[in-house]
Amino acid sequence: MAEAARPRVPRIVVGLGNPGARYAATRHNVGFDAADCLAHRLGASWRLRNGVLDVADGRRAARPYLLLKPMTYMNRSGAPLRLAFSDLGGRLEELLVLLDDFNLDLGRLRIRPGGSEGGHNGLRSIISMLGTQQIPRLRMGVGPPPEFEPVDQFVLKRFPPADRKLADEMVERAAEAAFEWLEGADLESLMNRYNRQ
């Protein structure tokens, strides 16, 4: 078969969050929010696969893409992602994970090709299940917790009204970066553009 005729490996964007109305619009769910924003822009529809993974797919720039949202709780995000890799195909270098980060100021984005989980349970689960820290990720700053407030309580709260506009703008920028990723942009160019904002 000629090289040009072979189906190309899909680019994959994974949004992390917790399923259910209780967690909607919380700091910990900005990864879900960005994935939803991206799906809306692409005109892609979510469907539940194997009871544990929301999937949307299509083609951009003549190559297939997959949007994924694990429907397990955050600390078990890795299992459905590993299932997706074995079931739907994919390569780590074609993956981009969208997640929250309380170590970044609200509104900041930081794209990295790999590294530790940085205290994020969803990313920790993915690293454990996929067996590598070389997981490309886009971290979305939700701000540090107030003094004496436990991180796990802070990230499960919704943004106060004063912060909502900045949070929504951040989600839109993250979706824009992920869209460029699906269009074929490389990580270095995305890092140069979005990490400086």
Residues annotated as part of the active site: 28
39 near 67, Cβ under 8 Å? yes
What kind and span of H or E run contains 42?
helix 30-42
| Count of Cβ atoms closer than 10 Å to residue 120 Cβ | 26
Task: Tokens for 93, please give them.
Answer: 């270098």
Distance CA 48, CA 44 (A): 13
Task: Tokens for 96, please give them.
Answer: 């981009």
27 near 145, Cβ under 8 Å? no
96 near 44, Cβ under 8 Å? no
